[in-house]
Structure formats: structure tokens, C-alpha cells
Amino acid sequence: MKVLAIIPAYNEEECLADTVAELIRVCPEVDYLVVNDGSKDSTPQICDQLHFNHIDMPVNCGLTSGVKAGMKYAYRHGYDATVQFDADGQHIPEAISRMQKAMQQCDADIVIASRNLAGGGAEGARGAGAKLISALIKCTTKQVITDPTSGMRMYNSSMIERFARDFDIAPEPDTISLLIRKGAKVVEIPAQMRERQGGTSYLHSFSAISYMARTCLSLLLFQWFR
């Protein structure tokens, strides 16, 4: 399989170089694309100085636009699969080969790296929110997704095309639910993940509450009209 790791990066100067270096060292057979999402720190300079394969968004467009830009790149260059890979060092590259194996053996459209299956997972309010999302996905699809908020997902070529061409597809739990209802096969594998290795998450108090509200509302209502 010809696999592309899509690495969205917004103000990730503290982690990006180490993240890409580890990915290249552990998975030399996997290509990568850094999507610099209008960063205001030295992220674009790091990409240029270290000669990373990257594209620059003109302004900060958000995670969805960054991932979709990577999907368009993968679609135009004929990749068999993509894996969404965080720039902050949370994701461990060793999981990519196991995701690829699961995709081939299970003939899956999407493979999710699950922290919960590996005995980890978010705690506190974030963990409770993830459990609520899992429950809503089960209600709407009859399938259990143990780690719906995992940001490490692998997509096959048919999913790459959908992300590249469809305007309303995003790398979010409600889209996973929608794709399952539309016939996509989604499987999970256990995967350990680290804490963010530097920088600051975009999810804080109000934004986290807003994210949960939008996701739950979409799972309960909006996706039925898509």
C-alpha cells in the first residue's frame, strides 16, 4: 500500500521537527505531508529549513480544512491510504503498520487507533464526553466505537476520494457515524498514545463545550439530512 501521513500543524514549533523525524525513522516506507495551517509561530520556517514535504494554508482554516487539503493531495497523487497524524507528538508511528495490516485483513474503509482498547483513554470531563459520543454513535449505527475522538485514523482510497470531493465530510465523530450508516466498514485497533509533547491544544473550556454540543447535535439531528 502507498500510504500518506497527513500532519496538520498550527503553531507546532515545539514538536513538529521531532514528530516528523520520528515518523521518518520508524516508518520510512510511509510518505508524509505537513499541512501548515496558517501558523503564526516558526512552524513555516521549520518546514522550509528542514525541507519537509509541506503545503502552506494562507490563513488558519482549522483542522477540517487542513485534513481535506491533505486528502486532495493524496487523491491527486494516487495514494492507497492516508493516516491522520498529529504534529504534537501524541501519536506513536509504530501503530501505522498495524493499522495498515488491519485495513488489509478486514477490508476496512477506516481504521481507528483506540486508546481505550489499549487500556488508556481520556479521563474526567473529556472522558465523559467521549463516552457520550460513543453512546450516540451506537444508537445511530448499532456499532460500538470505543474511541470516537481519536485523532489517529487511517482511510482507504474510497474514503480519500470522499474527503477530497465532498464538501460536508470532516475528520470528526459525526462523520464516522455518517459513513458507517452509508456502508463504510470501520474497525479499531488498540494503540497507546502519549501526552502532547509541547504547545497548546485548541480545545479549551468554551471551545471544548462548543465542540461537544455541535458533535452531539449533529449525531442526533443534522446527519440525518446529509
Q: What is the pTM of this model?
A: 0.91
Query: Average pLDDT for consecutive 10-residue bins of the chain (226 residues)?
Result: 97 97 98 97 98 97 96 98 97 98 98 93 76 94 95 98 94 94 97 81 61 83 72
202-207 contacts: CB < 8 A, separation 24 or more?
A: 202/10, 202/63
Distance of CA 19 to the CA centre of its chain: 15
- Which H or E run includes 188? strand 186-190
Work out the number of other CB atoms within 10 angstroms of the CB of residue 61: 16
| Cα four-point dihedral sign 15, 171, 101, 32 | negative
Q: Cβ contacts of residue 110 below 8 Å, gap of 6+?
A: 153, 154, 155, 156, 159, 176, 179, 184, 185, 186, 187
The residue range of the domain holding 114 is: 3-225
Instruction: For residues 187 and 181, give the distance between their C-alpha atoms in angstroms, rounded to a whole number.
Output: 14
CA dihedral sign of residues 24, 190, 198, 163: positive
Q: What is the pLDDT of residue 119?
A: 87
For helices 205-220 and 173-181, what crossing angle results, to 10°? 10
pLDDT of residue 122: 65
Q: What are phi and psi of 188, to 5 degrees?
A: -125, 150
Instruction: Give the count of domains, the chain.
Output: 1
Residues 172-205 pLDDT 10s: 999 999 999 999 999 999 999 998 877 655 544 5
pLDDT of amino acid 120: 79
CATH number at residue 111: 3.90.550.10
For residues 1 and 30, is the Cβ–Cβ distance under 8 A? no
pLDDT at 148: 94
Contact (Cβ atoms closer than 8 angstroms) between residue 80 and residue 111: no
- Strand duo 153-156 + 110-114: pairing: antiparallel
DSSP 2: -
Q: Which helix (H) or strand (E) holds 127?
A: helix 124-141
